[in-house]
A = this chain, B = another copy of it.
Amino acid sequence: MSLPHALLTALIERPHSSGLELARRFDKSIGHFWQASHQQIYRELGRLEADGLIASEAEAEARGRKRNYHVLPAGEQALRDWLGEADASTPLRDTLMVKLRADAVLGPERSDTPALIAAIEDRLTQHRDKLAQYESFAVRDMAHPDPDRAVRIRQLILQAGLRHESGWVETLEQALERLKVQNS
């Protein structure tokens, strides 16, 4: 349940953003570790406003029905309170692990291993792409001469992403290796 807090964060970072602007920025920054569709974002902005955590004004001289939002003091307070709440660790939850287990249980004869290998290779390229993307971010971000606190935190988040993706690449490469040995 972090979408509201992610939105508050994005709105403090750049006040007077509209729903669509937030959706676009989600895709490029926060979205790397917390995804949200524009429908979700509109719904949540409505709730945050109803709860008195943000406020908005309609912008004239704009297309559609553009509304610009900003965070109220109560919203900032809510965000600060939330920082201290403990949350349960995200458990590993991945369909590929289920597939591997299914393959093991079905056994080499009854399972369709070539198809599984194709599925794994597909996932592998996805993670390699993401990894390459993060690495290109890293070239920009890590070369900071005298990073302040905010920059150091961004670097930290990026490294978490790098570790995550390279971990998957490693796991999947190992899986392919082992599945292709077809004895017993």
Interface of A toward B, CB cutoff 8 Å? 2, 5-6, 8-9, 12-13, 30, 32-35, 76, 79-108, 110-113, 115-116, 118-119, 122-123, 126-127, 130, 148-150, 152-154, 156-157, 159-161, 163-164, 167-168, 170-171, 174-175, 178-179, 181-184
Contact = CB atoms under 8 A, between A and B. Distances in A.
Contact of A178 (B12, B79, B156, B175): B156
Nearest to A14: B105
21 contacts: A9-B98, A33-B91, A33-B97, A35-B91, A79-B102, A80-B110, A80-B115, A83-B102, A83-B113, A83-B116, A84-B119, A87-B95, A88-B126, A89-B123, A100-B153, A101-B154, A107-B149, A152-B181, A156-B175, A159-B171, A167-B167
Nearest to A99: B83
Contacts of A33: 91-94, 97-98
Contacts of A88: 126
A82 to B, nearest CB: 7
